[in-house]
A and B are shown apart, each in its own frame.
Chain A
């Protein structure tokens, strides 16, 4: 995965941050705080994918083996699904896992990529997240005011909680976008924020199993020099 974070080192910077100490320390702290938040949220959410497999499986087994089924369980299935894709999105942005049309992007150097990311954050990501956070907060608050639950008897009575994952999820994305913008800015001005890359230790050939990178649908390769 070509990430702007890992490439800052190869940019103009040589990590000399004494001259603008306070500002950089401040921004570094913010980025680190946001990255850590989304890292841990992501780790939690990843377990929910396993949970949803088990819940649907148990539901199937109960239905066909014992002929029983609970509205509660069926609602839980899509509650968990919604939870995964909304709450995990910030983490996905942290790992640069959202699809890009990188026909041009992948040919740019770290600085060019940083420009795209900074402008994208300012023009698209922040306004877009703001739009969803504001409109969905209204939507959620209405649900909270009526303490909305499932309309079906035996359903989950906390519909207002699952609705609130829309604004919360997009707040996580917004925060991660801000972190991305800050990092891009420092890449552009040629300063290294000194943040460790977020690429996690992937399982590689060590088990004789080829690694499927997290982004199974999203290839990143380093052949841009070649073409």
Chain B
């Protein structure tokens, strides 16, 4: 009986692999083990948990950010940005790849929906880079990695969810994620520039003749025109959160309206687009929160059976014998490994609620720990066989690019991610400095 929660976890892990929708697998497993452990009456607590999700105003930010992201994707913003940044950075060896990273970061700061970003950049940037003679692996790796930057660069949906679960203010997390986001972008760019120096044939520059017509003012104006919309939204959304003017939920609504106005201004808006955006928003919202309902049932039973105690004892034992840093390494290692198989929603809702409170008891800074998880989860988008970003890219790239090319291309970026994770581990000040300065804590 003592190990019942461990059996429950094992059963869930195996059953999830069968591929039936996660939320129902969670519900079914919880029901089975809940009946063994407690009987039916125990589940009368469940509606209260669901009610807790329904009345949570912070979580309301998620559909609003999704709406904003999907709408922005339709505004034609990404295309314009890619074109322009390509012109701007094209002079440098590896410049096209750098421009993809920059666009990924800009899109991440204004939308943050991985799938949409990877699809857009995969459709536009990969063929361009191949035409310019880029190595396939470098081209695909850059796109699939840059597309995930939206996960860590605020406003990010995963930060809203993690913040809610761990109990850290979403504003703090958004602010704490700014510098780690910069670090990752910087590392990506460093890697690309470095590899283009070492292997010049992998990343040829654009011939000067082609760039000649865009110089001086013409180029400047084009850059300004392309940069204005995303920067405007960034300032409106992040600015209002950071300066304490609006809550993340309110800022998300402003962003959603802003994205709609941009789409109208770009003459891309139609009733059909609106219907499509609304459909996507609804489905994504349902997908996320119905899993949360399933995870609530799972958490209820797992905790009721003493699963928390079991994990606490286990990790506490390690902390006593070695140190809390070993525990941190193990926890990060576990999340990294499950990231190969599960995606961020499951990990956020199933594993983080169990692990986070224990880690905070060891005295780790909550915001810093959340950011570590977020960087780790971002990596899970890139790790085969189950990396969303890779799937998306495969779905939209020309057939001459094989799944193998995509897998090989992402490896250096996964290593770069791990370096980024280590940097955040060793320099917590990257996370804590900005919120301290702005909020004066």
Q: List residues of A whose CB falls within 8 A of some B CB.
A: 42, 45-50, 52-54, 56-57, 59-60, 64, 74, 77-78, 81-82, 84-86, 88-89, 91-93, 95, 97-106, 108, 113, 116-117, 119-120, 123-125, 127-129, 131-132, 135-136, 138-140, 162-163, 166, 173, 177, 200, 202-203, 207-223, 226-227
Contact = CB atoms under 8 A, between A and B. Distances in A.
Q: Which secondary structure dominates chain B's binding surface?
A: helix
Contacts of A215: 115, 283-284, 287
A149 to B, nearest CB: 14
Most chain A beta-carbon contacts within 10 A, residue among B24, B46, B257: B24
A138 B280 contact: no
Given A128-B27, A209-B76, A223-B403, A64 B245 contact: yes
A203 B249 CA distance: 28
Contact of A217 (B28, B59, B279, B284): B284
A78 B55 contact: yes
Contacts of A53: 64, 67, 253, 256-257, 260
B253 A104 contact: no
Contacts of B391: 219-221
Q: Which secondary structure dominates chain A's binding surface?
A: helix
B123 A210 contact: yes
Contacts of A85: 63, 285-286, 288-290
A189 B49 CA distance: 40
Given A84-B282, A215-B287, A216-B115, A60 B21 contact: no
A99 B276 contact: no
8 contacts: A102-B19, A124-B15, A124-B20, A131-B43, A140-B47, A207-B273, A216-B280, A221-B394
Given A203-B276, A212-B70, A136 B50 contact: yes
Interface residues of B, number: 96
A179 to B, nearest CB: 14
Interface string B124-138: 100000000000000
A147 B63 CA distance: 29
A132 B282 contact: no
A99 B280 contact: no
A120 B342 contact: no
A50 B278 contact: yes
A40 to B, nearest CB: 13
Nearest to B22: A99
B272 interface: yes
Given A56-B249, A60-B254, A81-B63, A212 B73 contact: yes
Interface in B255-302: 256-257, 260, 268, 272-276, 278-291, 293-294, 297
B345 interface: yes
Given A50-B278, A56-B60, A124-B24, A98 B250 contact: no
B24 A100 contact: no
Contacts of A166: 47, 50-51, 54
Contacts of A202: 276
B246 A208 contact: no
Interface in B2-61: 15-29, 31, 43-44, 46-48, 50-51, 53-57, 59-60
Interface in B139-197: none
A72 B334 CA distance: 45
4 closest cross-chain pairs (CB), A and B: A105-B19, A128-B27, A120-B20, A124-B28
B109 interface: no
Nearest to A131: B31
A91 B253 contact: no
A209 B79 CA distance: 8
A104 B28 contact: no
Contacts of A131: 27, 31, 43, 46, 297
Contacts of B278: 46-47, 49-50
A5 to B, nearest CB: 15
Given A203-B276, A217-B115, A42 B254 contact: no
B388 interface: yes
B386 A101 contact: yes
Given A56-B250, A101-B16, A101-B342, A212 B115 contact: yes
B343 interface: yes
A177 B27 CA distance: 14
A93 B291 CA distance: 12
